[in-house]
Every structure is written in structure tokens, then in C-alpha cells.
Structure 1
Amino acid sequence: MKISDLKLIIGSIFLTILASGCVTISTQPSMRQTYGIYHIVERGQTLYRISKSYNVDINQVMRLNKIIDPTQIDIGQRIFIPGVRLPVPIEPYKSIPREAIKKLVGLKSSSSDWHYITLHHSATHEGNAVTFDRNHRSRRMGGLFYHFVIGNGTLSGDGEIEVGWRWKKQEAVNRPADIQICLVGNFNEEKASRSQHDALIKLVSVLREQYGISMQNIRRHKDIEGKATECPGESFPFNSIIAELKKNR
């Protein structure tokens, strides 16, 4: 038998085996990445917390693992973490205490006169103050519309309160004396997390105490006259929030 014929036979056998699924092909997320580890997702962990704990950009982790929605990861899922040699403990985001929220809000400014609190949802499944600021600038809104953003565990902690630059400058948006609070999520399709709910209760309580805002002036975006919007969504727990605020007075 000629050598060329032998090579042809061997090649045919290899292709047959490959087509039958007997050969395992490496699924390493990136050929360029020289090293990394696989993290096994445990209960209560989010992609944001995992990425932050390993000090790796969440967008890179999503790209390498072909994750489209960072909120959709499962317990037991293997996630490749690039540039890491050893696993690290993943600390869940801890609910912020009321005293810490008081520090975030800061002392009452003598020049500020806030009388309303308007509640929003982002109408997105993910996001944080930085991404919303970028989006609002691209829409010529002058930057982040909201004074406070409460995360859902995607690009910030679940229940994490981010303070917008407008609050730091004590600057109203398009309605004078109106504090804007946004919860990340689309509450026409999903529900706010318990951590978001608790953080909102604490934040609104502190703001009411600080500025003497009445219960009647806490409202949803869609409650404002002339606003044709569903914001903050059908599943937003407005009634339970108001009931809890009244109970905690």
C-alpha cells in the first residue's frame, strides 16, 4: 500500500469519528487567554459580585462565557474567570444599614427645598448609575436623570444605593423640589428584589425625615399629571411600600 493511500484512509477514519461526536473539542472561552479558572455559581451569587470579587471586568466575563443577560446565571453553572489562578470567596452584598444611608444622603442643605419623591424603574434588566448616565447623555438629557439608583445585582449590588451627581450638587431635574429614585429592572416583566424593596424603604424614610416630605407626596412616575407612561411598571410594589412606610413612622 502506498503511503499516500494510508494517509487518505487515516484521514477518512478521523473525519468519521469527528462526525460521530466521539472527539471532544476544547471549549476554552478564548484562545488568547493563557490562564484562568472556572468558578462554580452558588446560591445567592450574582455575576456582578463574582466579577467584582475577582477584580475582573463583568463585560469581559460575559463575552468569554457568551452570557447575554447577566441576571440569568444558574446555581452550579461554570463561569470562566480570565487571568485568575486561585478561587476567592464571594461575599454577598450586605444590606446597607439606615445609619449608612444617612451618610449617603448627607446633611440637609440650607439651600435645598425638596417636597416630592418620584419613583421610577429603569425599564431595563440591567444597569447602574454609570450606564444610565451615559445613556441619558446620549439622549441629550444632560446626564443621569435620577438622584438615586438602587441596583438589582447586575452591574451593581442587589439593593445597593448609588448616589447620582445631581444629588451631590442638590440639583433638580425638570420638576422643582422633586427627588428622583430609580430601581434597576423592568417591572412590567419582573418583580423588584427584596433587597431593592428594603433599600427603597430605608432611603425614602431617611429622605422624609430629613426634608419633612409628606406621605401624599411620594408618587410613581405615572401618577404625575400629564405623564403618559407605565413607569415604574405594573409589578412595582407601590402599595406595600407606602403601607410599610406608614407602619415605620
Structure 2
Amino acid sequence: MTPVTMSTTPRIAPRDTPMARGQWQAIVIYDSGSPAGDVAALERRHLDAGLSGLGYHFVIGNGQGMEDGQVAVGFRWERQLPGAHANASMCAPWPLRAHETPLSANDLNRKSVAICLVGNGERRAFTDQQTRQLLNLVRALQAELGIGAHGVFFGQELAPSAGGLGESGQLQPGTFRAQLLP
């Protein structure tokens, strides 16, 4: 499926099937770990790793392979399919609801929307346009799916040894969550 570019008002309604609102309980934000890339390159990497295509639901470009701030909608979102982004060592750092256990890796793949920022946050800050589009997209998903800020995670929070998204800069989990819907 051809990626779709979003404006500042993100299109989050899937094109191929009705939105499965009850399925989605969290949002997980990753980086690609590479300075440049696009959906095709990420999909090749995921296919080479044995996945059935792009593991993320959305990809946001940095001007190096995709337009800066371009938001591509992946086939998993269009078809409301589970992601393929959390590995076996990952789990949510806290429960999403009282009296529940934190989401396991399997649950994260089945119940969370995965967003990937092209770039490597440990080496270079994400662009202003990327972070603006990320915030717009996450807020739109929150509003549509009823996901609170406590249900938005960064990949490194799920597996702290994994790194990613940078140790400094504008994408600190607490600072980012403070800008989200409650």
C-alpha cells in the first residue's frame, strides 16, 4: 500500500477497514536507529528480520529519504492489524488500568499503535517538523481511541537497554507526555 502524507490535522481513519477502537490501548514511539530512511527501507529491514512487512503503523520522515514531517500510514493501520514492533524482552513499565498487569511484548504488539520516527535520537535531535507531527498524530490518536498520556510509551521505556530516541533533547518521555491529552 502506498504511504499517505498527513497535514497538521492527521488522518487517522483507516481506509481498508473500520477502526477497531477497542483493540488499541497504548501508543509506542520508536526511532529507526538510522540517520535516513523511508517506509520501503524499513519494510525491507523488517522482512529481512522475518516479519511480514513493516512492523509499525505510522512512520514520520526527517527529510532524509522522506519529506521532513511526512507521516506515512502503514498497511497494519489501514487494515487495523497488530503491530510487529515489540520484541520478547519488552513490557510496559506500568499497568494501563488498575488491577491489571503491565502489557507484555505480545500484548504490546496486539494492543498498541506503533509510531516510528526516521532517525537516531541518540546521535541527532529529531527535526522540529517531526516532533510537531508526532505530537499532532499522538494527540489525534489519543482523542480517537481514548488513550491517556499514561498509555503513551517510548521504546526505551519498554526495554531500557534498547536505547533510542536520545538521552537528551526535546523527546524526553515526561516532557513529551506533559504535552499530551490527559
* TM-score by shorter chain over 0.5: yes
Q: Is the 1:129–1:149 contact (alpha carbons within 8 Å) kept by the matching residues of 2?
A: yes
* Distance in 1 of aligned mates of 2:24 and 2:6: 26
Q: 1:140-190 CA deviation, whole Å, 9 max, x = no partner?
A: 122111110000001111011001111111111242211110101111110
From 117, 125, 147, the counterpart of 2:35: 125
Displacement of 1:130 in angstroms is: 1.2
What is residue 7 of structure 1 aligned with on the other side? none
* Distance in 2 of aligned mates of 1:120 and 1:245: 17
Task: Say whether residues 1:190 and 2:101 are aligned partners.
Answer: no
Q: Is the 2:122–2:167 contact (alpha carbons within 8 Å) kept by the matching residues of 1?
A: yes
Q: Is the 1:112–1:170 contact (alpha carbons within 8 Å) kept by the matching residues of 2?
A: no
**More relative contact order, 1 or 2 (CA 8 Å, 6+ apart):** 2
Match of 1:180, SS state, is strand
* Distance in 2 of aligned mates of 1:110 and 1:163: 16
Unaligned runs of 5+ in 1: 1-93
Letter paired with 1:232: L
* Distance in 1 of aligned mates of 2:73 and 2:6: 16
Q: Is the 1:95–1:195 contact (alpha carbons within 8 Å) kept by the matching residues of 2?
A: no
Aligned residues: 149
What is residue 153 of structure 1 aligned with on the other side? 63
Percent identity, aligned pairs only, is 28
What is residue 142 of structure 2 aligned with on the other side? 208
Listed as ranges, the matches of 1:151-190 within 5 Å are: 151-173=61-83, 174=106, 175-190=109-124
Q: 1:7-30 CA deviation, whole Å, 9 max, x = no partner?
A: xxxxxxxxxxxxxxxxxxxxxxxx
Q: Is the 2:34–2:119 contact (alpha carbons within 8 Å) kept by the matching residues of 1?
A: yes
What is residue 140 of structure 1 aligned with on the other side? 50
Relative distance call for 1:111 and 1:96 in structure 2 (3 A) is closer
Q: Is the 2:20–2:80 contact (alpha carbons within 8 Å) kept by the matching residues of 1?
A: no
Q: 1:54-92 CA deviation, whole Å, 9 max, x = no partner?
A: xxxxxxxxxxxxxxxxxxxxxxxxxxxxxxxxxxxxxxx
TM-score (norm 1): 0.55
* Distance in 2 of aligned mates of 1:194 and 1:111: 30
From 166, 169, 176, the counterpart of 1:233: 166
Letter paired with 1:195: Q
Match of 1:176, SS state, is helix
Which entry has the higher C-alpha Rg, 1 or 2? Answer: 1
Letter paired with 2:175: S
Unaligned runs of 5+ in 2: 84-105
Relative distance call for 1:95 and 1:133 in structure 2 (3 A) is closer
What is residue 220 of structure 1 aligned with on the other side? 154
Q: Is the 1:126–1:154 contact (alpha carbons within 8 Å) kept by the matching residues of 2?
A: yes
TM-score (norm 2): 0.74
Task: Say whether residues 1:97 and 2:8 are aligned partners.
Answer: yes
What is residue 106 of structure 1 aligned with on the other side? 13
Relative distance call for 1:234 and 1:106 in structure 2 (3 A) is same
Letter paired with 2:136: K
* Distance in 1 of aligned mates of 2:21 and 2:167: 36
